[in-house]
Chains A and B, each alone.
Chain A
């Protein structure tokens, strides 16, 4: 790998890591932490929705499973935070395989509809299973002073890992094969691409990363409840982040996530009744006029071909 490709992202990460030393604004600090979480989760969603082209409206299921498993492990066993996140991620990935292995045979809208069912069913089951989730009253994690402040750097690491993984995935044999499946699953099969295993693998990776993000979220808020963790609007938010930035690209969902998190924060504070309507309208506009989102606009502005050589 060339230094030239590695240097700019490394500098950005370093700058973001040092940023908190320059200001004492806790509100901004926390907002950036949430943006990191958005970037990591939107990219994880994009591995399935963008690279494989299987748009999930139910990814909150894995986010929630990861979050609750991590929270339970921390409460019951006093497990270190990061280990608990990873354990939650592993279970979330396995849970994704459980419903995804049969469902990924469906393609396009049929798959998407199935994921809505999976997401809602998971929410209802988990609200009922209070041994795991504490039911509707949720779970509280022991509050550690200053933890929230420190999570900024954990979030940065999470986002950086997700970005690096997206970049590697796009350039790997696996990524190419996924794009081939997305383009034409039968033609891909005719040149040796076995779709079932690869689809399962990317679903596992996507679900596991979502679960880790769920664990992070639990630590950040130190209180979680099923209605919020498994909420349909949470699942939709990743579709929106992708659509705003450009589904299937790398920078797109990351940028879309930052915009979404900031915009949502502003709209919830200013127009709590209207914010979902606003996002709905935005989604319609993007899909009508620029299906590749901001990436599409940028490509058009710079008159670049849609794809560059990796």
Chain B
């Protein structure tokens, strides 16, 4: 089975710092893969590389068997690999429906009317349909994170890159968010790569987890396996704790 998203030896150097250093990963269709690591481990840079926001220093990326290396973000998105942002970035002068319609128009291959329909469905799916004619400013943080996901889903992606969509929302909203992530995979057949600081969410969502530290992958396995891994505990808590 060819991977929905694959990275081979992905590296990014900023001056003297290798923010991402030889990361290889593959995300299978229908999989929810977690990417965790302490602050500064390179998760967000890794996301930016996969989404085409920045170009890698070396290494290659593929979606299915199509090479994405060096493609600008808008082409990566059109190829079906769409990211969300850790700090939400709604289009503030557009209504929720328009926010999602823009994405659908560019990526889904539908015409304007079809795109609006897809956008409405997607807002329904994340539970924001009732507010579709409002501006994003009226939403709570959890609402904006849902909008961020709805906008990405309106691209009709094959792969969704979720950058800390749960961090910052309250516990009951977090549970709803976890359920939503599962539904995206189960009902929409979208493969998901997610970074998350909320470990409970990672444990309950992901079948497999990759751990990064200082730009490198240091462990991989089921959530239960990695939390017992010596290198992982060292990375999070220091040598003496391990």
Contacts and interface: CB of A to CB of B under 8 A. Distances in A.
B94 A176 contact: yes
User: Which of A172, A173, A184, A192 has the most chain B CB atoms closer than 10 A to its own CB?
Assistant: A192
A195 B102 CA distance: 12
Contact of B101 (A176, A184, A186, A188): A176
A306 B99 CA distance: 15
Interface residues of B, number: 36
Given A306-B135, A307-B135, A192 B106 contact: yes
A274 B165 CA distance: 57
A309 B132 CA distance: 10
A164 to B, nearest CB: 17
A180 B102 contact: yes
A27 B187 CA distance: 68
Contacts of A306: 93, 135
B133 A309 contact: yes
A137 interface: no
Interface in A146-205: 172-173, 176-177, 179-180, 182-184, 186-195
Interface in B113-170: 115, 133-135, 151-152, 154-155
Contacts of B99: 180
Contacts of B91: 179-180, 183-184, 187-188
Contact of A305 (B92, B112, B115, B135): B135
Contact of B53 (A183, A190, A192): A190
Given A184-B91, A189-B72, A173 B103 contact: no
A282 to B, nearest CB: 25
Interface string A45-83: 000000000000000000000000000000000000000
Interface in B35-66: 51, 53
A256 to B, nearest CB: 19
User: Which of B83, B91, B112 has the most chain A CB atoms closer than 10 A to its own CB?
Assistant: B91
Contacts of B21: none
Nearest to B85: A187
Contacts of A193: 74, 102, 106
Which secondary structure characterizes the binding site on chain A? helix
Contact of A177 (B85, B92, B105, B133): B105
A307 B92 CA distance: 11
Interface residues of A, number: 24
A191 B93 contact: no
Contacts of A176: 94, 98, 101-102, 105
B24 interface: no
A248 B106 CA distance: 22
Contact of A191 (B82, B95, B112): B82
Contact of A173 (B73, B82, B112): B112
B112 A172 contact: yes
Contacts of B92: 183
A214 B181 CA distance: 55
Contacts of A179: 91, 93-94, 98, 102
A268 to B, nearest CB: 36
B4 interface: no
Contacts of B78: 192
A189 B74 contact: yes
Nearest to B88: A187
Given A176-B101, A177-B105, A194 B93 contact: no
A49 to B, nearest CB: 14
User: Which of A180, A190, A306 has the most chain B CB atoms closer than 10 A to its own CB?
Assistant: A190
Nearest to A177: B102
Given A190-B83, A309-B133, A173 B77 contact: no
A56 B204 CA distance: 52
A21 B77 CA distance: 57
A176 B97 CA distance: 11
Contacts of B89: 184, 186-187
Interface of A: 172-173, 176-177, 179-180, 182-184, 186-195, 248, 305-307, 309
24 contacts: A172-B112, A173-B102, A173-B105, A173-B115, A177-B102, A179-B91, A179-B102, A180-B94, A183-B90, A186-B89, A187-B91, A188-B91, A189-B72, A190-B51, A190-B77, A191-B77, A191-B102, A191-B155, A192-B103, A192-B106, A194-B74, A307-B94, A307-B95, A309-B95
